[in-house]
């Protein structure tokens, strides 16, 4: 039974690292679009949609990064409250 719990602990840690990395990538893309929207104007024709999309990417990326970080801490410390967040 202890081997299974250890495996689940590390699988949760790896999953949360992936969520954290994805959130960090979204933050990076959001900052890139917010700072230099010229490269994305070919893809998105309307400027208001582009600026709203950049801030949406930032918000979702920050939320995912925070959740991934808390999940990593919760998985390593076996903290139920951190994992429930």
Domain annotation covers residue 49: yes
Domain annotation covers residue 15: no
Q: What is the CA radius of gyration of the chain?
A: 17
Domain annotation covers residue 50: yes
Q: Residue 42: phi, psi to the nearest 5?
A: -70, -35
Say how many domains are in the chain.
1
Domain annotation covers residue 16: no
Domain annotation covers residue 12: no
Q: Are 29 and 66 in contact (CB under 8 A)?
A: no
Question: The whole model's pTM is what?
Answer: 0.78
Domain annotation covers residue 4: no
pLDDT at residue 47 tops 70:
no
Residues of the domain holding 25: 21-79
Cα distance between residue 20 and residue 65, in whole Å: 4
Q: Are 19 and 40 in contact (CB under 8 A)?
A: no
Average pLDDT over residues 53-82: 86
Domain annotation covers residue 62: yes
Tokens 């490269």 — which residue?
A: 39
Confidence band for 46, pLDDT divided at 50, 70 and 90? low
């Amino acid at each position: 039974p202890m081997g299974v719990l250890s495996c689940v602990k590390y699988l949760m840690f790896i999953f949360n690292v992936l969520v954290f990395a994805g959130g960090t990538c979204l933050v990076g893309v959001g900052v890139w679009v917010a700072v230099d929207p010229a490269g994305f104007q070919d893809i998105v024709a309307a400027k208001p949609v582009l600026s709203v999309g950049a801030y949406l990417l930032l918000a979702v990326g920050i939320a995912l990064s925070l959740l991934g970080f808390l999940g990593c801490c919760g998985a390593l410390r076996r903290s139920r409250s951190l994992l429930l967040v």
